[in-house]
Amino acid sequence: MPAMSHLLDPARLDKKLKLSEYPSDDTGQFKDKADAAESTAEHLRKLDELQQVLYAQGKYAVLIVFQAMDGGGKDGAIEHVFGGVNPQGCTVTSFKAPSTEELAHDYLWRIHHATPKRGMIGIFNRSHYESVLIERVKDLAPRKVWQKRFDHINNFEKLLADEGTVIIKFFLHISWEEQKKRMEKRLADPHKNWKFSPDDLKERRRWSDYMVAYEEALSRCSTDFAPWYIVPADHKWYRNWFVSHTITKTLKKLDLQYPPPLKDADKYKVK
């Protein structure tokens, strides 16, 4: 199954989206990790090339959003896919619980502050969608508040898009069983169990509530200018292929060109 089939087409979406209909263990056209290795490597090489032009041209900004349940692989995807790009042209923002200053502003204030400038790739590890996910599931905001936020988010993303930001949003979709395996593996590894918190188990018990919240957020906020992609993420290697494939395919559609060469460059002498 080609990756683009997991693009949530806004023209066909309604509130009946069911994540259970999207297999989290899909591997597309590939048999295994080795089968996908060459294609993934080529995408990563191409991403490096495209990012160099994006940075030099300074015409577009690129915002890439990652959302997932605990253990979904946001950190791993970011590390693998962007490990080879020029760090001067890339920023990563991880959104934790809001600070006192952030809580004194509207919920999008800290998000807008972190959006990338032209020429940059900005990566959000969690994002503004937490305000219609965790705040909804844990009753941190009443329904009458978070229900309005879908329109806020769409309008915010439309503003960014109109001003030259290309937006790509990935939901890393893992199964209940795969999350259990990853949590157990994390607990068993002394070098990784610092990532574990007892609260993770409380969040796991709310799995069904989170699926409902994600289904509505994905349905209502996948637009032509800021599409959502459901990424089958049970297999990390396929997740990496999918993400790198989608980003490079999107960037190839842009009018990316190096700036004109320096006029009369041969006249300058470096002494």
Sign of the C-alpha dihedral, residues 27, 32, 37, 42? Answer: negative
User: What gap in Å lies between CA 178 and CA 71, rounded to an integer?
Assistant: 9
pLDDT at residue 80 tops 80: yes
User: What gap in Å lies between CA 122 and CA 165, rounded to an integer?
Assistant: 10
pLDDT tens string 187-196? 998 888 888 8
SS3 of residue 87 by DSSP:
helix
- Of 38-42, 85-89, 157-161, minimum mean pLDDT range: 85-89
Structural domains present in the chain: 3-254 (3.40.50.300)
Amino acid code (one letter) for 58: G
User: What gap in Å lies between CA 190 and CA 251, rounded to an integer?
Assistant: 39
Longest CA span, the chain: 69
pLDDT tens string 132-177? 999 999 999 999 999 999 999 999 999 999 999 999 999 999 999 9
Residue range 83-92: mean pLDDT, rounded: 94
Residue range 15-41: mean pLDDT, rounded: 93
SS3 of residue 134 by DSSP:
helix
Residue bearing tokens 């263990």: 25
Would you state the structure tokens that stand for residue 21, as one six-digit string?
A: 């209909």
pLDDT value of position 15: 52
pLDDT value of position 194: 87
Of residues 27, 5, 69, the one with CA closest to residue 235: 27
Write down the mean pLDDT value for the chain. 93
User: What gap in Å lies between CA 184 and CA 195, rounded to an integer?
Assistant: 12
